[in-house]
Amino acid sequence: MALDSKIPKGPLADQWTKHKNDINLVNPANKRLIDVIIVGTGLAGGSAAATLAELGYNVKAFCFQDSPRRAHSIAAQGGINAAKNYQGDGDSTYRLFYDTVKGGDYRSRESNVYRLAEVSSNIIDQCVAQGVPFAREYGGLLDNRSFGGVLVSRTFYAKGQTGQQLLLGAYSAMNRQIGRGKIKMHTRHEMLDVVIVDGKARGIIARNLVTGEIERHSAHAVVLGTGGYGNAFYLSTYAMGSNVTAAWKAHKRGAFFANPCYTQIHPTCIPVSGDHQSKLTLMSESLRNDGRIWVPKHMKDVEAIRDGSLKPTELAEDDRDYYLERRYPAFGNLVPRDVASRAAKERCDAGYGVNKTGEAVYLDFAAAFMRYGKEQAHVKGLDEDDDALVRKLGQEIVKNKYGNLFQMYEKIVDQNPYETPMMIFPAVHYTMGGIWVDYNLMTTVPGLYAIGEANFSDHGANRLGASALMQGLADGYFVLPYTIGDYLADDIRTGPIPTDSKAFDDAEKDATDIIDKLINNNGTHSVDYFHKKLGKIMWNKCGMARNAKELKEAIVEIAELREEFWKDVKIPGTADAYNEELAKAGRVADFLELGELFAKDALVREESAGGHFRDEYQTPEGEAMRRKEFQFVSAWEFKGEPKDAVLHKEELAYENIEVKERSYK
Ligand SMILES: Cc1cc2nc3c(=O)[nH]c(=O)nc-3n(C[C@H](O)[C@H](O)[C@H](O)COP(=O)(O)OP(=O)(O)OC[C@H]3O[C@@H](n4cnc5c(N)ncnc54)[C@H](O)[C@@H]3O)c2cc1C
């Protein structure tokens, strides 16, 4: 199958306007005749559901939580980007586009990213109109801060709870439509399969998680806004329920996956503390606006810190290595996430990690306390030479900016980050890979769309901070509502889609067969036992440092683990009632399949990109080769030629073979 990204012709800056002018529309009266299923009501799905219903479509929305408000999007802390240039610091649509493409190691689809940058400003206006309480400066104007990989301040935020506030906005917009009857909301429903009728996505099979009932739902199009799959690594910053099932089932029905191995490893997470852990915690990237990252310069100090005989606050400035400021003077601590993560790993691999496991670096606010404190003392006419006073004043400012993050750190680590530097280490945080979509956000299955983190198109090999919320809301509020009409215009006379067809029978049977097998397996190990094992393989062999030998081992090990899972997993309880372990088992079964594709993708990518580096390239010659490759792509890209830089020829062939020949279980 040839992939056609359907990128409009012409200069990047004109493509979206031209496309909107050219595509088919569905008139308001005909929209009432069309049903759309939206699976996932996080920021992407929630905004899409609200907007499509507002336009007049009949929306059926699904999420597995008890409320759309509990989607993983709620966890987003730091902010959302937009090219408003409120700071007058040189920002523009082009710069946001450029930063995002460059930040993604030139592996994003430029046309989609340009459109994203273009609509970014509308998102802020839309959310302000909904009442989202973005932070404001004293004079009442919206405030901005910086995130990694950029030289401007374009990030809008609501304290450390931006995702929550944006989600409440989308949820309110959805609720208006739920109240009008235009959205039928199905909470605690898990999509188990997509139903393809005559080559088009026409419905889903879902399990009511409370009663265990299997249900059929039909529509003229199906949209997946089901989030990312970083929990394949077991330990990650994701919500515990985030999973790949919807995307994976869509893949098995013919939707291509793109870049499955591109995972974001976020540099500022609380380090792993032991085997008992089931979750990792992010410390927002916004902290790098004011925190400085360092490790000791000398091994004797590392050892003294580890054995407790030296406190980090006692180490002289000259004996500290602020390695990001040293290596990347222009960006300093605000380098992109992949660069910061790789640098932290490099220091820790060289033995300079500051905690007992040797896998932690410091994020230190001491300098910010003094900087802000001096300014405050000056403003208030107090003694600028009184260090204790200045520090206290500075801490108040930092508390106002990041108070909830500091509190969270103290609760988890039991150390006061106002008194001692935070310890951080990279952790799995976001998946840039996902379901392949064209410019209209349609997958390779006609009528099946993917939006938000579930698709692949905008972030290349590394997503810049504060751009996931931007993409999810751009897709949901401003892109899909236009592009889906182009497809649905052909369906105005189709009428309701029946659910008593063979395609629905077959899909339902496939779903119930899996459930029956899981529930009757009577094995000896819990689902978590297998999930943890998978996570270890993924992190150790498909994580940041990768090489062909270990990736090949991972492929075999994951396949073996999958076999063991199906022989030996034990699920207590029954299928006709609430059974969290059963739901988890289905998700882990899909991670065990995705994991193999992930490792295969990493294996064929003989490149270092984003947070991943192939050991083969960790020589001076290899690094030089990598740089040359980027320069080439970079020069080529900015001539403005549209190119689907994602799946090159060999991988296309590989994808085709995979889709045809893969068989599981
Ligand atoms: C701790 C943390 C902080 C972050 N901070 C930021 C930030 O400051 N700025 C930023 O831009 N990004 C941030 N991100 C990333 C960002 O939050 C996510 O990428 C984004 O919210 C994903 O939104 P989404 O709507 O695509 O998916 P999600 O919010 O994950 O929503 C997925 C939806 O799909 C549903 N679903 C999934 N599978 C099924 C199924 N099989 N059946 C039915 N329903 C299903 C779920 O119920 C849910 O409603 C952060 C991420 C984390 C983990």
pLDDT higher than threshold 60 for residue 392: yes
**364 CA to centre of ligand 1 in angstroms:** 29
Specify the DSSP element, H or E, that contains 206: strand 200-208
| Residue 261 to residues 322, 343, 437, Cα–Cα distance (Å) | 31, 20, 17
Work out the mean pLDDT of the chain and round it to a whole number.
91
Residue 254's nearest CA partner among 100, 420, 389, 448 is 448
**72 CA to centre of ligand 1 in angstroms:** 4
**293 CA to centre of ligand 1 in angstroms:** 28
- CA dist 337 and 344 (Å) reads 11
Q: Which residues pair with 612 in a beta bridge?
A: 609
pLDDT higher than threshold 90 for residue 644: no
Q: Residue 275 carries which DSSP code?
A: T
Tell how strand 221-224 and strand 257-258 pair up. unpaired
Crossing angle, helix 43-55 and helix 480-488, to 10 degrees? 60
Sign of CA dihedral 632, 633, 637, 642: positive
Nearest atom in ligand 1 to the alpha carbon of residue 227 is: 27
**pLDDT band at residue 639 using 50, 70 and 90 as cut-offs:** very low
- CA dist 188 and 227 (Å) reads 16
Nearest atom in ligand 1 to the alpha carbon of residue 46 is: 25
**pLDDT band at residue 659 using 50, 70 and 90 as cut-offs:** very low
**pLDDT band at residue 618 using 50, 70 and 90 as cut-offs:** low
Specify the DSSP element, H or E, that contains 264: strand 263-269
pLDDT higher than threshold 50 for residue 642: no
**70 CA to centre of ligand 1 in angstroms:** 10
614 or 114: which carries more pLDDT confidence? 114
Residue 619 has a pLDDT of: 59
Dump pLDDT digits (tens) for 46-64: 999 999 999 999 999 999 9
Specify the DSSP element, H or E, that contains 584: helix 580-604
Mean pLDDT of 355-379: 96
What global pTM score does this model have?
0.91
Residue 111's nearest CA partner among 24, 22, 25, 9 is 9
3-state secondary structure of 224: strand
Residue 623 has a pLDDT of: 54
- Per the CB < 8 A criterion, the answer to whether 558 and 521 are in contact is no
Supply the residue whose CA is at minimum distance from atom 52 of ligand 1. Answer: 76
Q: Where are the alpha helices (DSSP H) in 27-109?
A: 28-31, 43-55, 93-103
**552 CA to centre of ligand 1 in angstroms:** 31
**pLDDT band at residue 43 using 50, 70 and 90 as cut-offs:** very high
Sign of CA dihedral 169, 172, 176, 181: positive
Q: Where are the alpha helices (DSSP H) in 491-579?
A: 502-519, 527-542, 548-568
Nearest atom in ligand 1 to the alpha carbon of residue 226 is: 34
Mean pLDDT of 462-472: 95
pLDDT higher than threshold 60 for residue 515: yes
**67 CA to centre of ligand 1 in angstroms:** 14
Active site residue 337: yes
Phi, psi of 62 (to 5 degrees): -135, 140
Mean pLDDT of 134-141: 92
CB atoms within 10 A of CB 158: 21
Among 548-552, 591-595, 651-655, the range scoring the smallest mean pLDDT is: 651-655
Residue 99 has a pLDDT of: 94
- CA dist 333 and 523 (Å) reads 49
3-state secondary structure string across 55-93: HCCEEEEECCCCCHHHCHHHHCCCCEECCCCCCCCCCCH
- Per the CB < 8 A criterion, the answer to whether 83 and 96 are in contact is yes
- Per the CB < 8 A criterion, the answer to whether 235 and 428 are in contact is yes
Q: Which of 469, 582, 590 to mutate to test the pocket of ligand 1 (most atoms within 8 A of CB)?
A: 469
Helix and strand totals (H; E) in the chain:
20, 19
Indicate the residue type of 363.
L
**452 CA to centre of ligand 1 in angstroms:** 8
Nearest atom in ligand 1 to the alpha carbon of residue 249 is: 41
Ligand 1 pocket (Cβ < 6 Å) reads 39-45, 62-65, 71-73, 75-80, 162-163, 189-191, 225-227, 237-238, 242-243, 245-246, 282, 429-430, 452-454, 466-469, 472
Supply the residue whose CA is at minimum distance from atom 6 of ligand 1. Answer: 76
**453 CA to centre of ligand 1 in angstroms:** 7
Mean pLDDT of 233-244: 97
Q: Residue 230 carries which DSSP code?
A: G
Residue 503 has a pLDDT of: 98
Nearest atom in ligand 1 to the alpha carbon of residue 471 is: 11
- Is 525 buried (19+), middle (13-18) or exposed (0-12) by CB count in 10 A? middle
Phi, psi of 273 (to 5 degrees): -110, -15
Q: How many residues does the chain have?
A: 665
Residue 142 has a pLDDT of: 96
Q: Which of 63, 154, 584 to mutate to test the pocket of ligand 1 (most atoms within 8 A of CB)?
A: 63
Specify the DSSP element, H or E, that contains 81: strand 80-81
Report percent pLDDT > 90 for the chain: 82
Indicate the residue type of 569.
V
402 or 291: which carries more pLDDT confidence? 291
Beta-carbon contacts of residue 557 (< 8 Å; ≥ 6 apart): 537, 541
Nearest atom in ligand 1 to the alpha carbon of residue 470 is: 11
Dump pLDDT digits (tens) for 306-321: 999 999 999 999 999 9
Of 188, 202, 320, 337, catalytic: 337
Nearest atom in ligand 1 to the alpha carbon of residue 245 is: 41
Structure tokens at 99: 């930063």
3-state secondary structure of 173: helix
Q: Which of 132, 222, 226 to mutate to test the pocket of ligand 1 (most atoms within 8 A of CB)?
A: 226
Supply the residue whose CA is at minimum distance from atom 44 of ligand 1. Answer: 63
Q: Which of 41, 59, 62, 73 to mutate to test the pocket of ligand 1 (most atoms within 8 A of CB)?
A: 73
Dump pLDDT digits (tens) for 438-455: 999 999 999 999 999 999
Rounded to an integer, what is the distance from CA 69 to the centroid of its chain? 18
Supply the residue whose CA is at minimum distance from atom 21 of ligand 1. Answer: 73
Tell how strand 263-269 and strand 214-218 pair up. unpaired
